[in-house]
Structure 1
Amino acid sequence: MLQLDFPIRKECPPGACDCKRELLLDVAQADMAELAILRLTKEEEKKLIARIEAAQSYEELQRIGVRLQQNLGVALKIAPGDNEVRTVMGLQIELTMRPGLCRKTREAIPAAVRRCLRNKPGIIYAILDAHDLFGAV
């Protein structure tokens, strides 16, 4: 059995998730860097969700995305959808799929971003502007 000196996320009930946690633990014996994603325990996930919801600007959301990439190897993508954007639901908010990333986490983080955007519509305009939707004609 693999011995770790840090807490890792508890396994999901059988059949409830497609995170491939067990496979990751087997492979990770050779590469400890792959286990970084499992450091996102449920408590840490709650802190991350709260931080996302409290973001005050698009730049702050981008910094959170950079930290997710650096610490967990997961990319957060926030971009306008293919069709017109009339509401927050018109934005594409995705996390890259990675072994060890729980299905609930893949749903909770984009939902937290949407709640943040609903509370601070100015961030939506910054996202649209960053993708040149309000750029010079």
Structure 2
Amino acid sequence: MTAPFPIRKECPPGACICERERLLQDIDADLRVLQLTLQEEKRLVERLENLVDLADLERMQARLHAQLGITLRIAPSLNEVRSMRGIGIVVDEQSGLCRKTRQAIPAAIRRSLEQRPEIAYAILNGNDLLRDA
């Protein structure tokens, strides 16, 4: 089966568990995630590293889900949040989504949160963690 758009090249054998080939063989599969080529992934990571505010982050979450079907969840951990590592950033597993991409997206968001801590504070405040501060 061929897709009507350029798709991501396959990962080296044994390096990834993205199940790209199985996804391409499934007639009813959602192939949107395969549109994320290496060049597009670099643009996405750069965009995520340069977030402006919480609204911008939420727009990116919505766009990732709408355009690629990627579900991104961001929430403070159940324990104390002492650093940016205390904010949980999870990209749900999905067929066709490369392991490296699942790691690159949260890393880019963490770098953005470190550059603009007000976004992290807004996430914490949105979850009512700073109500007494």
> Residue 11 of structure 1 aligns with which residue?
10
The CA deviation at 1:136 is: 5.9
| Distance in 1 (alpha carbons) for counterparts of 2:78 and 2:32 | 33
- For residues 136 and 69 of structure 1, the distance between their equivalents in structure 2, rounded to whole angstroms, comes to 34
Contiguous gaps of at least 5 residues in structure 1: none
Which of 24, 36, 40 is the equivalent residue of 2:36?
A: 40
Match of 1:31 in 2: 28
The Cα shift of 1:6 comes to 1.3
Letter matched to residue 124 of structure 2:
L
C-alpha deviations, 1:53-103, integer Å up to 9, x for none? Answer: 111101100100000010111111111012100100111000111100000
* Aligned equivalent of 1:53: 49
Residue in 2 that maps onto 1:107: 103
Matched, 1:135 2:131: yes
Which stretch shifts more, 5-14 or 106-115? 5-14
The secondary structure found in structure 1 opposite 2:32 is helix
* TM-score, normalised relative to structure 2: 0.96
Q: Distance in 2 between matches of 1:5 and 1:66?
A: 23
- Write the distance in 2 (CA, Å) between the matches of 1:68 and 1:47: 13
TM-superposed CA distance for 1:131, in Å, is: 0.6
Unmatched 5+ residue regions in structure 2?
A: none
Letter in 1 for 2:40: E
Query: What's 2:121 paired with?
Result: 125
Residue number among 82, 85, 92 corresponding to 2:88 in the alignment: 92
What SS does the aligned partner of 1:55 have? coil
Secondary structure at 2:31's aligned position in 1? helix
Indicate the SS of the match to 2:46: helix
